[in-house]
Amino acid sequence: MDSNYEKLFDQAMDRYKSGANAVDLLEDFETITSLAPNLSAAWTCLSWLQLLCNKPAQALISARKAVKLNKQDPQARINLTLALLETKSKGVRDHVDFVKKVLISVPDLEEEISNCISDGLERKSDWESLKKVKSWLEI
């Protein structure tokens, strides 16, 4: 990834972590994914923001790209699961089972995933799909 894309990505992530509204960050991550289309982390972030902004059909496309680029990323799989649930699509169980296996084999990731889920519920307290995923993962 070109250092300009890294800088834009880091700035957008800092803004998110500082509490910026998801809507205000969508354009940044759309730009990043168009400039660096093979950057799975950017697609993962974009799908998360799209989910927060109630754009599940767009999130489904972005999350599928993220998983295609990095099949091992549990957050990309969680985003894909959420998008599948919210679009009433099939294939949820496979992704949940994958994330469970990752969390068993790499327990250090559980805190990161738990923090992400907590952040999502703070930003969107009525997010029923995320509550389901949280209970399925037993986090």
pTM of the model: 0.94
Render the chain in DSSP notation, one character per residue: --HHHHHHHHHHHHHHHTT--HHHHHHHHHHHHHHSTT-HHHHHHHHHHHHHTT-HHHHHHHHHHHHHH-TT-HHHHHHHHHHHHHTT-S-HHHHHHHHHHHHHH-TTHHHHHHHHHHHHHHH-TT-HHHHHHHHHHT-
**Predicted confidence (pLDDT) per residue in 80-101, tens digit:** 999 999 999 999 999 999 999 9
For the chain, give the percent of residues with pLDDT over 90. 94
**What was the pLDDT predicted at 1?**
45
Of the CATH numbers 1.25.40.10, 3.90.180.10, 1.20.120.160, 3.90.650.10, which one belongs to the domain with range 3-137? 1.25.40.10
